[in-house]
């Protein structure tokens, strides 16, 4: 099962919560594509913040002293005779996402959907440290986004 909450650390997200919730629900329709396992309970917190908040987290946990669009943290719990559980905190920065969407001429919500899909892959053990792994993640992202009616985010603007 997948359980999630949405919270905001800034007022900028409040007006967007309903649309974000709809986006998450649409993405979760494709949970098998995202490698969600039926034997695991997922508890996801989608936390929407600003650059200042994200920069502090990025510095503390990744040792990178700058803001980023999204940070994903996962803890797993295995209990005897029970299902595995994953507790996930996924932080988004509205400022960085907005800047990136404008810079790349992408709809804000389409870009956010891409980041949500990307984060959900991370909570399911996908990483992109090696080029092969990056390409596997990229292919899954493209396929899920296409099912949502969203263009390939890796298709650069000069190729349009």
Whether 155 maps to a domain, the answer reads no
Whether 127 maps to a domain, the answer reads yes
Whether 51 maps to a domain, the answer reads yes
Whether 15 maps to a domain, the answer reads yes
Mean pLDDT in residue range 91-116: 94
Q: What is the mean pLDDT of the chain?
A: 89
Residue with tokens 């053990």: 125
**Residue of 39, 34, 61, 46 lying closest to 112 (CA atoms):** 46
Number of structural domains the chain divides into: 1
Put simply, whether the predicted model's pTM sits higher than 0.85 gets the answer yes
Whether 91 maps to a domain, the answer reads yes
Range of the domain at 55: 2-150
Which CATH number belongs to the domain containing residue 22 in this structure? 3.40.390.30
Whether 80 maps to a domain, the answer reads yes
Cα torsion 96, 22, 47, 147: sign? negative
- Say if CB 121 and CB 140 are below 8 A apart: yes
| Least confident piece of the model among 44-48, 51-55, 76-80 | 76-80
Whether 104 maps to a domain, the answer reads yes
Whether 157 maps to a domain, the answer reads no
| 117-144 pLDDT tens trace | 999 999 988 888 889 988 999 999 999 9
């Amino acid at each position: 099962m997948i359980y999630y909450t949405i919270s905001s650390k800034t007022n900028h997200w409040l007006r967007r919560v309903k649309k974000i919730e709809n986006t998450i629900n649409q993405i979760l329709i494709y949970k098998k594509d995202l490698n969600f396992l039926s034997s695991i309970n997922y508890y996801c917190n989608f936390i929407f913040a600003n650059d200042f908040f994200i920069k502090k987290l990025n510095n503390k946990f990744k040792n990178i002293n700058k803001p980023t669009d999204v940070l994903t943290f996962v803890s797993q719990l295995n209990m005897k005779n029970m299902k595995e559980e994953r507790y996930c905190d996924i932080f988004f920065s509205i400022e960085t996402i907005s800047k990136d969407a404008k810079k790349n001429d992408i709809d804000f919500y389409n870009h956010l959907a891409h980041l949500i899909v990307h984060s959900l892959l991370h909570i399911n053990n996908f990483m992109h440290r090696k080029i092969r792994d990056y390409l596997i993640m990229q292919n899954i992202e493209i396929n899920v986004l296409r099912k949502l009616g969203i263009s390939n985010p890796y298709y650069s603007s000069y190729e349009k």
